[in-house]
A = this chain, B = another copy of it.
Amino acid sequence: MRIGELAAKAGVSVRALRYYEEQNLLASVRSPSGQRQYPDSAVDRVQWIQQLYAAGLPSRTLVELLPCTLTGEVTIELLGRLTAERDRIDARISDLVNTRDRLDGIIATVTTVGATGRHCSPGNSTAS
């Protein structure tokens, strides 16, 4: 498939795909005229890249870890990096849960509310 189709299927922009190639995250075979050709498997790969980006991993890290997350072959250093990143994600999860719970607490104190634009505060459930 060509780049436009891959972009559509993976839900990213064409620019993003060319950027991934620039970062050595995604390879392509070139047609005689220079157009990029991708196998079907590229869709999953791109989505996995997106997921790791969303987890906060920068492209440098992805360059190192992406191959082994797909082949399952890894050196012991890479395994260390892998578990380290996993732990960092774990930590971020904890932080987010913490923040969400705190927001929930705040929301709970002002749950009972009047009409649009009205003011409300903790003791304002059925306003006088």
Interface segment among A8-16, A22-30, A31-39, A109-117: the answer is: A109-117
Q: A54 contacts B99, CB within 8 Å? A: yes
Q: B51 contacts A99, CB within 8 Å? A: yes
Q: B96 contacts A93, CB within 8 Å? A: yes
Assess whether A58 is interfacial by the CB under 8 Å rule: no
CA distance A93 to B92 in the complex (A): 9
Q: Which residues of the other chain, B, contact A83 by a CB distance below 8 angstroms?
A: 107
Q: Which residues of the other chain, B, contact A99 by a CB distance below 8 angstroms?
A: 51-52, 54-55, 89
Assess whether A1 is interfacial by the CB under 8 Å rule: no
Q: B86 contacts A121, CB within 8 Å? A: no
Q: B95 contacts A54, CB within 8 Å? A: yes
Q: A76 contacts B114, CB within 8 Å? A: yes
**Which DSSP category, helix, strand, loop or mixed, fits chain A's interface?**
helix
The size of the chain A interface, using a CB distance under 8 A, is: 46
Q: Which residues of the other chain, B, contact A97 by a CB distance below 8 angstroms?
A: 93
Q: Which residues of the other chain, B, contact A98 by a CB distance below 8 angstroms?
A: 51
Q: B107 contacts A79, CB within 8 Å? A: yes
Q: Which residues of the other chain, B, contact A54 by a CB distance below 8 angstroms?
A: 92, 95-96, 99
Q: How far is the CB of A91 from chain B (nearest CB, A)?
A: 10
Q: A86 contacts B103, CB within 8 Å? A: yes
